[in-house]
Amino acid sequence: MIAVAPEKGTPVIEVDGLTAGHGARILLRDVSFTVRAGEVFAILGVNGCGKSTLLRHLIGLQQPMSGTIRLLGENVVTASDTAMRELRQKFGVLFQAGGLLNAMTVGENIALPLSEHTALSEAAIDGVILNKLSMVNLAYARHLLPSELSGGMKRRAALARALALDPPLLFFDEPSAGLDPVTSLELDVLIETLNRDTGTTMIVVTHELESIFRIAHRVIFLDPGARGIIAEGDPRILREESSDSRVSNFLNRRIAATG
């Protein structure tokens, strides 16, 4: 509705020489990678490796110490406030807790970005609400409050809101965290289906191995000791062929050998 989707395979995220951290503490040093249109791209690593920090930098919530980040051709690091407001209409974010506004119904949550950023009529907005809820198998929940939803339903409702403006980019922060295995699988299947049917590029921060192997086309693996990327590629190939024990142990759910 707002942005034209890039041609499949073209770079939509370009990170070059990113150094990031908190205060004087460096979590990531000289990180570079590219995400291409249509990919499901996962950011992996053990706790404390900088996954969430990287995500916050990608969506412009935190400024890097050095380096550049380009989203859909826009330099996030140097963009003006106006440019960032426009850019944020071109990507959706599904936060770990969902981030729905508790005082609004599910339908009203989805309507909010449409009312703020489009000139659609009330009838047209109603049509979008029903369409997005149908996409996440939640059409019956339009008039429910977030407090009336289960954990999985909240994630799907938040995903419907993230899809409201038809963004070419979606970011997911630990989408399966705290969900039971069946609900996690349902969410994975939904993500897979949306990517296939819409071509939306998806960046997923996660440590859930089953989800990684099911939905991710390509991954980067962050390591706290290296303060950066130690592996990149198809997670299924990395699981079988990586010569780095940190990567192999993680993807094969093995405990590192001790002294």
Q: Where are the domains of the chain?
A: 38-60+89-251
Provide the edge-to-edge strand list for the sheet that holds 91-94: 91-94, 169-173, 201-205, 40-45, 218-223, 228-233
Q: Residue length, the chain?
A: 259
Domain 38-60+89-251: CATH class, spelled out: alpha beta
Token digits of residue 77: 């690091």
**Residue 34 burial class via C-beta count within 10 angstroms: exposed 0-12, middle 13-18, buried 19 and up:** middle
pLDDT tens series, the chain, 259 aa:
445 567 788 999 999 999 998 878 899 999 999 999 999 999 999 888 889 999 999 999 999 999 999 999 999 999 999 999 899 999 999 987 668 899 999 999 999 999 988 899 999 999 999 999 999 999 999 999 999 999 889 999 999 999 999 999 999 998 888 888 898 999 999 999 999 999 999 999 988 899 999 999 999 999 999 999 999 999 999 999 999 999 999 999 887 655 4
